[in-house]
Amino acid sequence: MLYGPRTKLQVLGSDPDFLVLTEAAQEEPRSKKAPLALAIMAAVLIPVIFGWLPIAIAAIAGVVLMILTGCLSMDEAYRSIQLNAIFLIAGMLPMGIAMQKTGAAQFLAEGMVSIVGPFGPLAIMAGLFILAALASQVMPNPAVAVLLAPIALNTATNMDISPYPLMMTVAISASAAFLSPVGHSANVLVMGPGGYKFADYFKVGLPLTLLIAVVVVLVLPVFWPL
């Protein structure tokens, strides 16, 4: 709660770092620009959905149009850029690429399979899930799936078991990127506005990852018997 001249509330209402509950002090939405903003958003999403443009190019073009048409000011655009998230991605992506290029990720995957292999197919599924979930924190999800899919197939062939549950385990676990803000683009998007720290993702992501791992190991063999 704040005490002071009512006119000062207008200053706080225009500051994005404050959430003023007094309706009179809140900045009025530019409702006249809403149809134009929706049209620009549709123009960004439709080419991406149909594969006509990459998401990076379409998104940048949409932002430029938003600014040129007055839906967004340059100051508002600059304030929306989360530099900590950008530097975090810039640091983590090269590490993931290095693990892929040097063969470190494949070495870890093959070592894991050789360790848990004697404990049976369910142990292999659990090991693949954990390895893919951890790798997805520093590597792009498609790269993790492409890297581990051949290992899952070879493991299924060598153990004479069905490849379907192992491949589905890789597919699901590669998307179970909850442990870090760089595990998925959605994680990064909420990091700045939510004021989250790296440890916050681990606190929530670890129980969620373990829960999904248990469900995958128990449920997948029901649909695709080993």
Backbone φ and ψ for 176, nearest 5 degrees, come out as -85, 65
Token pair of 16 as six digits? 């994005």
Q: Span 47-70, mean pLDDT?
A: 87
**Residue 33 burial class via C-beta count within 10 angstroms: exposed 0-12, middle 13-18, buried 19 and up:** middle
What's residue 160's pLDDT?
A: 81
The answer to whether the beta carbons of residues 85 and 180 sit under 8 Å apart is: no
What's residue 172's pLDDT?
A: 87
Closest CA to 32 of 61, 70, 64, 63: 70
Q: Is the pLDDT of residue 139 over 80?
A: no
- Least confident interval from 58-62, 86-90, 150-154: 86-90
- Least confident interval from 46-55, 187-196, 217-226: 187-196
Closest CA to 110 of 77, 158, 78, 65: 158
- Least confident interval from 114-118, 164-168, 173-177, 200-204: 114-118
Token pair of 161 as six digits? 């078991």
Q: Span 210-220, mean pLDDT?
A: 88
Q: Is the pLDDT of residue 174 over 60?
A: yes
Higher pLDDT, residue 117 or 67: 67
- How does the average pLDDT of the chain come out, rounded? 77
Q: What is the largest CA-CA distance in the chain?
A: 77
Backbone φ and ψ for 77, nearest 5 degrees, come out as -65, -45
Q: Cβ–Cβ contacts within 10 Å for residue 196, how many?
A: 15
**Residue 107 burial class via C-beta count within 10 angstroms: exposed 0-12, middle 13-18, buried 19 and up:** exposed
Report DSSP letters for 102-146, one per residue. HTHHHHHHHHHHHHHGGG-HHHHHHHHHHHHHHHTTTS-HHHHHH
Higher pLDDT, residue 56 or 9: 56
